[in-house]
């Protein structure tokens, strides 16, 4: 299924630019850092601004009505745009998530064979929109219901007009043999943070007044480690990819 999906995205007009941006990276060095930091890496400028500007334009094409706001006291206050809407309206963002170059790069970083998650998974790819004062998310892991160390998260900074909101990470939190490693990052446009969802405890600190922060986040899963119980559903996706094209994936998913 992934091979077919890869062929589809190879035809995207963005893949050459994504591949070129990744080709200049010192993957061996980044992989060492990734391991040393408890399966966590931050790359301040992964994508060129020409691509980032297009990503920001796609983000701004979503009206307030298309951004689903959630407010759970002490847990999360922010907006979300799910991958179905992204696939329909934001071709570059969609291509990024499904980029074979990005999948190969992150597979190297993690020394795992990673795959895209099935299209029904809410965390497969989404825009996280922080646009009102106090928007935040509390400390959590991105295990996404998978077993430990099966799910990896990648987050691109797209819009970061904020002086107050940062993403804070804690690695080795439960490892009694070594000190906890803390990182606080500014997800500036074009930046990329990649980590093992069950190992990096993280939060987004509250947004200030009249600020705007949007991150594009997606999850890859170790091959063979998708959530159980979705096998039939996954086959449906496969059929959609093989016969009907990407749009059919989402139509089938939400029947
Ligand atoms: Fe998260």
- Write out pLDDT tens, residues 142-201: 876 566 678 899 999 999 999 999 999 999 999 999 999 999 999 999 999 999 999 999
Cα-to-centroid distance, 141 and ligand 1 (Å): 6
Which is more confident, 68 or 207?
Answer: 207
Phi, psi (5° rounding) for residue 135?
-55, 135
Give the global pTM.
0.85
Q: In the prediction, which pLDDT does 223 show?
A: 80
Q: In the prediction, which pLDDT does 146 show?
A: 61
Cα-to-centroid distance, 174 and ligand 1 (Å): 18
Cα-to-centroid distance, 140 and ligand 1 (Å): 6
How confident is the model over 88-98, as a mean pLDDT?
93
Cα-to-centroid distance, 69 and ligand 1 (Å): 16
Is the pLDDT confidence value at 123 over 90? no
Chain-centroid distance, C-alpha 106: 11
Token output for 142: 């991105």
Whole-number average pLDDT of the chain: 84
Is the pLDDT confidence value at 21 over 60? yes
CA-based R_g, the chain, Å? 17
Q: In the prediction, which pLDDT does 68 show?
A: 87
User: 2-253 has which CATH code?
Assistant: 2.60.120.620
- Residue boundaries of the structural domains of the chain: 2-253
Cα-to-centroid distance, 242 and ligand 1 (Å): 32
% pLDDT > 90, the chain: 64
Q: What does the DSSP 8-state code read for residue 66?
A: G
Region of residue 134 (left: phi > 0; alpha: psi -120 to 50; beta: else): left
| Rounded Cα gap, residues 165 and 81, in angstroms | 19
Q: If DSSP codes are grouped into helix, strand and coil, which group holds residue 216?
A: strand
Cα-to-centroid distance, 197 and ligand 1 (Å): 8
Cα-to-centroid distance, 235 and ligand 1 (Å): 28
Cα-to-centroid distance, 243 and ligand 1 (Å): 34
Which is more confident, 221 or 214?
Answer: 214
Cα-to-centroid distance, 99 and ligand 1 (Å): 21
pLDDT in tens, 26-72: 999 999 999 999 999 999 999 999 999 999 999 999 999 999 888 88
How confident is the model over 90-99, as a mean pLDDT?
94
Cα-to-centroid distance, 198 and ligand 1 (Å): 10
């Amino acid at each position: 299924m992934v091979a077919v999906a890869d062929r589809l995205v190879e035809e995207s007009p963005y893949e050459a630019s994504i591949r070129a941006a990744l080709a200049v990276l010192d993957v061996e060095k980044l992989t060492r850092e990734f391991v040393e930091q408890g399966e966590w890496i931050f790359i301040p400028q992964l994508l060129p601004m020409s691509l980032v500007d297009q990503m920001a334009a796609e983000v701004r094409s979503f009206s307030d009505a298309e951004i689903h706001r959630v407010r759970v006291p002490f847990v999360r206050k922010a907006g979300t745009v799910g991958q179905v809407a992204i696939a329909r309206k934001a071709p570059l963002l969609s291509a990024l998530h499904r980029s074979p170059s990005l999948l190969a790069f992150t597979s190297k970083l993690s020394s795992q064979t990673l795959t895209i998650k099935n299209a029904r998974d809410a965390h497969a790819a989404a825009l996280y929109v922080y646009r009102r004062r106090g928007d935040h998310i509390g400390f959590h892991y991105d295990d996404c219901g998978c077993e430990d160390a099966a799910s990896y998260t990648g987050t691109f900074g797209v819009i970061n007009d904020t002086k107050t909101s940062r993403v804070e990470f804690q690695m080795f939190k439960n490892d009694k043999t070594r000190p906890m490693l803390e990182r606080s990052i500014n997800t500036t446009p074009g930046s990329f943070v990649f980590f093992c969802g069950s190992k990096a405890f993280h939060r987004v600190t509250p947004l200030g007044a009249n600020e705007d922060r949007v991150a594009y986040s997606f999850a890859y899963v170790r091959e063979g480690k998708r959530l159980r119980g979705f096998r039939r559903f996954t086959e449906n996706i496969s059929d959609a990819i093989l016969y009907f094209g990407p749009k059919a994936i989402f139509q089938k998913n939400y029947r």
